[in-house]
Amino acid sequence: MTNPIPLHSRHRSVLPDWLALYYDRPVELTHGEGRHVWDADGNRYLDFFGGILTTMTAHALPEVTKAVAEQAGRIIHSSTLYLNRPMIELAERVSALSGIPDARVFFTTSGTEANDTALLLATTYRRSNQILAMRNSYHGRSFSTVSITGNRGWSPTSLSPLQTYYVHGAVRTRGPFAHLDDTAFTAAAVADLEDVLGQARGGVAALIAEPVQGVGGFTSPPDGLYGSFRKVLDRHGILWISDEVQTGWGRTGEHFWGWQAHAQNGPPDIITFAKGIGNGMSIGGVVARAEVMNCLDSNSISTFGGSPVTMAAGVANLAYLLEHDLQGNARRVGGLLLERLRAISATVPAVREVRGRGLMAGLELTKPGTDQADPDAAAAVLEAARAGGLLLGKGGGHNTSVLRIAPPLSLTVAEAEEGAEILAEALRTLN
């Protein structure tokens, strides 16, 4: 029997108001294949938001589906307490890929829990609850992670277990260093970091940063900035945590991890990851130097983190993305897409900037000729693109006025062209 009450009304009557949905008429997705998804009305969409970056490789990828089904059919049990073959296999691969010498891996079920674990490690290791975070950042929804989130729209409490200092450096086009060249920008950001450190009382535990800010609207500093920060941090023994929840696994095209664009003074002490690694299955985790990972002197385990089923998905997905060089695909197809987006946007005055790396592209919309963010324009383009058969994302610290594009990494050139055409049409509605 079908329920006569529309699904959206049911959503609203039982779920919190802050669980906001995209679109005036929210979409119910029923299935996906490759880079496409279908809704309950039978409409087909090209997915340029990759299930908010969770669908790393492709929808319903047979290799991952098979691995999940086989493992689920064999055993789903505690992630810990007993030997867990898929967890060890994934940890070996992640550890080897991390770039951190003598790395250990701990699996969680989300990015939030991964960052929460990184904070637990860093504050314990350094015996300090002082954290440096970037303005406009997003690191999760738990009590600890909202208190290191610089994007005010995503930080619902000012009560905090941590003492957080925010530093400049992640946003190029706004704020006090806007429009400085790379060298001057880096020097100004390093000076700001030094200044903030001068104000911190006692030792600071860690700096946490997203190499490319995701929720913040795909903004990134000049290459090498976090490496320059690292030099300052090293003088104080402060740890560097790279939040790779959006940038990991080759999405930025040039590198496997986002931190590798900032590698001149060595790797981070801790990397956190989540989202795409399980191609939609809930995997998060932390990689850290053994000395840092092993600083906890009491038990800390997770019932579902490292579940054999999600780990099997991770092993299969990682193998697929390495074998098919999806990082290279992100670089090639992402480069073409960015070029197309720049060409299209040149004729749309509302697009203030097109930016991105690999298959992460952002279009910042403002009231034409001004710096004033235009969330209504972003919402209008999102609706128009949907009507044309394209799903996009939104982001940005300025009232979500940045259109975000992050398709599955297997996007083809033809699909990139198709999506760019639909987006061009949607943007034209603003002129």
Binding residues for ligand PMP, per CB under 6 A?
Answer: 110-112, 115, 138-140, 210, 214-215, 243, 245-246, 274, 284
Residue nearest to ligand PMP (CB): 111
Q: Which is nearer to ligand PMP, 34 or 276 (CB)?
A: 276
Place of tokens 């059919």: 73
Q: Which is nearer to ligand PMP, 209 or 384 (CB)?
A: 209
What phi and psi, each to the nearest 5 degrees, are found at residue 198?
A: -65, -25
What span, in angstroms and rounded, lies between the C-alpha atoms of 299 and 24?
Answer: 47
CB of 52 to ligand PMP, least distance (A): 7
Q: Give CA separation, 176 vs 45, 149, 185, in Å.
A: 40, 20, 10
Helix extents (H) in 237-307: 290-293
Residue 208's identity, in one-letter code, is I
What span, in angstroms and rounded, lies between the C-alpha atoms of 386 and 422?
Answer: 9
Residue 223: which region, alpha, beta or left (left: phi > 0; alpha: psi -120 to 50)? beta
CB of 284 to ligand PMP, least distance (A): 6
Place of tokens 């203030």: 352
Q: Which is nearer to ligand PMP, 135 or 340 (CB)?
A: 135
Q: Which is nearer to ligand PMP, 243 or 374 (CB)?
A: 243
CB of 54 to ligand PMP, least distance (A): 8
CB of 307 to ligand PMP, least distance (A): 15
CB of 303 to ligand PMP, least distance (A): 17
Q: Across-strand partners of 210?
A: none
CB of 30 to ligand PMP, least distance (A): 23
Q: Which is nearer to ligand PMP, 57 or 137 (CB)?
A: 137
CB of 139 to ligand PMP, least distance (A): 5
CB of 418 to ligand PMP, least distance (A): 26
Within a 10 A sphere around the Cβ of 302, how many other Cβ atoms? 18
Q: Which is nearer to ligand PMP, 38 or 166 (CB)?
A: 166
Question: Which are the contacts of 234, defined by CB distance < 8 A and separation ≥ 6?
Answer: 265
Place of tokens 């600071």: 204
Question: Which are the contacts of 271, defined by CB distance < 8 A and separation ≥ 6?
Answer: 98, 100, 241, 242, 244, 248, 257, 259, 286, 287, 288
Q: Which is nearer to ligand PMP, 144 or 329 (CB)?
A: 144
Q: Which is nearer to ligand PMP, 34 or 284 (CB)?
A: 284
Q: Which is nearer to ligand PMP, 366 or 400 (CB)?
A: 400
388, 285 contact by CB (below 8 A)? no
CB of 53 to ligand PMP, least distance (A): 7
